[in-house]
Amino acid sequence: MTSRDDLRRRMRLVRKGLSGTALHAAEALARHALALPVADVEGRVVAVYRAAGSEIDPAPLTLELRRRGAKIALPVVVAKDRPLIFRLASDEDALTPDAIGMPAPPPGAQEVRPDIVLVPLVAFDVRGGRLGQGGGYYDRTLSALRRSGQLLAVGLAFAGQEVDEVPVEPHDEALDGVLTEDGYRARST
């Protein structure tokens, strides 16, 4: 099996190549919003992310979710080895750098617990395996959130980021499904 670092390097290049279709793919994600297992998002807190580098951009999907009544939250890194927190994002012009310099809602924004977390990734498989950037932020966060109640964790990706098998480690948190430009696929067991 390929090592995690080798797979991460290879799939970053694949994702970068796929980013040439980024606008089409991002708009397709929004069209597939109703395919999510929780189609009625009115009043629910949905955590999204701001795309960095060649990640698929959730902005059109975010607009669709907001239009359907979802409360949108963004992740905030408060410390390197801690789970993310989420704050409501009502005014994107008010974003400020978090502990690692990513744009995030300011400290005065309301902290919330999401019902749904949309997760960026480098690679995924049909069993819910996810390979992230390597910092462990989402694994720590999903683990903590799942201990405190129900949660739907959905990866967002280009369809071409799928691999046969993501090498998982004991701390890795499985996704419930993945939404790509081709639609939603629930984790197979």
What pLDDT sits at residue 70? 95
DSSP three-state, residue 103: strand
4-186: CATH superfamily: NagB/RpiA/CoA transferase-like (3.40.50.10420)
This prediction's pTM: 0.94
DSSP symbol at 9: H
Instruction: Kindly report the backbone phi and psi dihedral angles of residue 6, in degrees, each rounded to the nearest multiple of 5, phi listed first.
Output: -65, -45
How many beta carbons lie within 10 A of that of residue 159, not counting itself? 17
Q: Which runs of consecutive H residues, i.e. helices, occur in 82-183?
A: 137-147
pLDDT value at position 33? 87
pLDDT at 1: 54
Tens-digit pLDDT profile for the chain (189 aa)? 568 999 999 999 999 999 888 788 999 999 998 888 886 889 999 999 999 989 999 999 999 999 999 999 999 999 988 999 999 998 666 899 999 999 999 999 999 999 999 999 999 999 999 999 888 999 999 999 999 999 999 999 999 999 999 999 999 999 999 999 999 999 997
Tracing tokens 């955590």 back to the chain, one arrives at 47
**Quick one: which of 5, 31, 12 has its CA closest to 161?**
12
Residue 88: both structure tokens together: 């409501």
